[in-house]
Structure 1
């Protein structure tokens, strides 16, 4: 074999080797990371945890062979401490709306991998690059339907404020969120013009309804129980709490008009041990059929709008995603910046007589 032919064969051999390495490298880059033995998901616990286990976690374990370990409670301070120390115990954590905004700005969260998590069927309000909108709930009017019969209940916040036309004891939450917005809507402010909130106008309107609120509730179960016990005939509350007693036969109805929508959210802490598999869990939470199971349990649907197609027709009327056009979104961004001031003004207002 002459030297030219030998050199040519050697060159081709090198090129072939390089191509093989390139192909191997590409395949390696696209391969899934090794599966961890477990994935730690932090959430609120209680009935929510039970529903998540049924709708999402059992299926994830069966699909991937990864054990889902659940912890609680949700704690923003602990999240920050974990990330700052570099010792992150959670792969995924539930996080409140305002805290999610704060965490994103403080660089405490990993970016969601859009190649793994499909949110193409989600509304624009649920497309935050660092926060996954896992569910939606709304603060709405609940009413005794043996008092307000045949659709005679208040159908707007202006009606709620009209105590002559719609008499009876009322209950509202002891918190500025929702109430400031409801007051402004009752005073004629359009739902899409609420922010920035005009504190003076809102509290002036709240002064009118304050004497007619017999209970200011502070826990989610309270308004439903107040209606059950006939202590009030009208109460603001979270839709899932009303849904729970309605499906058990309580004489309670829901008015969806002008409800205040909020997202339940999950995020991946920055520095999480298994971010790829945490994204896989988010992908599981985005499956519409699984969201339908969760919604049927709690009345809090996911924001994949296709999930409504898989919900029992008897359940659909109790889900806020069936009435999105009638409601408005609470601005987590505004409260992240102004929530402290709103709380201070609210507490001072509550101490006032009248």
Structure 2
């Protein structure tokens, strides 16, 4: 497998052009149904769920008097089984990475009611979403121990990450081909705007070079940054919010935004959800700039409402992937490309780890 099928369109490339005028989707206006006692929100749990509750879920409960019951984890297979059986347990669900593309293509989601959900302040390419709600953005970036590499003299890009002579010490990376193959190609000299379609053979060849220096392949967000805190690694990758939560507690970790991989976290309403009317109204609150600012203040992940930074603590803005300073340094992960090619590459990745 060399260059796999290229998909020109993608979920994540921010293009700032003339403002778009949103037309409400025809046929979605509904008469208010009877209020249920609760709706069910399925998300990824942990710190993200706690931040969601303190902002979006609590605001929904206060506004409508309807309890938001949370469940986790996020599971595309379970979503598909629910929809196919016509037995929908969730009102709204988080959808991770390429699964958002698959969920939409597979007809597993209700259309968004854009007469209720205001996306007019979101990036241009997100304003006319039909099924997938663009909830927030997060990045996988380089982090290093600032007490090992002092005065900002740690690795500044993926070429440096691969340079074990100039920057010695054990590394950690996620146990996933997604993003790691992009990082390998960047380390090998590919320009960020030339990454897709990925040259998979070239990427795995480059991964062979760094593999002996990976002390641990992390599988959870909590594990990723903690490996640096515990000094099992001196350089690694993690989601920006995981680094931020430790940095604000005083951990000696430096965050490197250059060549970071930025992605969109999404929500969707399962097809046939009985309380979809109220799910639309929850998403409307999730789109609110003030609530998104409060969310970023808690967890370090920004919403995609471009006005949210006005309501974000200025001390936190430098730690957000969408800040004016950080965003241009990064590339958007092409989730549609990964949706098309993930299965085959995941199998190859599993074999490669055992080699």
What secondary structure sits across from 1:282 in the alignment?
A: helix
Paired residue for 1:18?
A: none
The structural deviation recorded for 1:60 is 1.1
Work out the CA distance in 2 between the residues paired with 1:133 and 1:113: 14
Gaps of 5+ in 2: 1-28
1:219 to 2:202 alignment: no
| TM-score (norm. length: structure 1) | 0.87
Aligned partners of 2:170, 2:341: CA distance in 1, in Å? Answer: 31
- Equivalent of 2:332 in 314, 320, 329: 329
Aligned to 2:143: 142
**Partner SS for 1:259:** strand
Q: 2:351 matched to 1:348?
A: yes
Q: Is the 8 A contact 2:30 2:277 kept in 1?
A: no
Residue by residue, what CA displacement relative to the aligned partner does 1:67-98 show, whole Å, maximum 9, x if unpaired? 22222222222211221222222111111122
**1:122, CA displacement in angstroms?**
1.6
Task: Report 1:97-112 matches (<5 A).
Answer: 97-112=97-112
* Alignment match, 2:23: none
Residue 91 (structure 1) aligned with residue 94 (structure 2): no
Task: State yes or no: 1:55 paired with 2:58.
Answer: no
Aligned residues of 1:145 and 1:251 also touching (Cα < 8 A): yes
Computed over aligned residues only, the root mean square deviation of the Cα atoms, in angstroms, reads 1.6
Which digits, 9 at most, give the CA deviation of each residue in 1:84-139, with x for residues without a partner? 22222211111112221111111111111111111122224545321112121111
Cα deviation digits, residues 143-178 of structure 1 (max 9, x gap): 111122222121111121222222222111221111
Of the structure 1 ranges 119-128 and 57-66, higher mean CA displacement relative to structure 2 is found in: 119-128
Evaluate the alpha carbon distance shift between residue 67 and residue 167 of structure 1 in structure 2; reply closer, same or farther with a 3 A threshold: same
Equivalent pairs, count? 324
Alpha-carbon distance, 1:30 to partner: 6.9
Larger Rg: 1
Cα distance in 1, alignment partners of residues 207 and 340 from structure 2: 22
| Other-structure match for 1:239 | 240
Q: CA offset at residue 327 of structure 1?
A: 0.7
Deviations 1:27-58 (A, max 9, x none): xx775344333222111222222111111111
Matched, 1:131 2:129: no
What are the equivalent positions in structure 2 for 1:20-31 lying under 5 Å apart?
Answer: 31=31
Work out the CA distance in 1 between the residues paired with 2:172 and 2:30.
56
Mapped to 1, the partners of 2:227 and 2:276 lie a distance apart of 43
- Indicate the SS of the match to 2:197: coil
Cα distance, 1:320 vs. partner? 0.9
Stretches of 4+ moved more than 6 A in 1? none
Structure 1 pair 141–30 and aligned structure 2 pair: CA distance change class (3 A): closer
TM-score of the two chains, using structure 2 as the length reference: 0.87
**CA distance 1:178–1:159, shift in 2 (3 Å):** same
- Give unmatched runs, 5+ long, in structure 1: 1-28
In 1: Cα distance, 2:45 partner to 2:224 partner: 21
Is the 1:126–1:303 contact (alpha carbons within 8 Å) kept by the matching residues of 2? no
Separation in 2, partners of 1:295, 1:82: 32
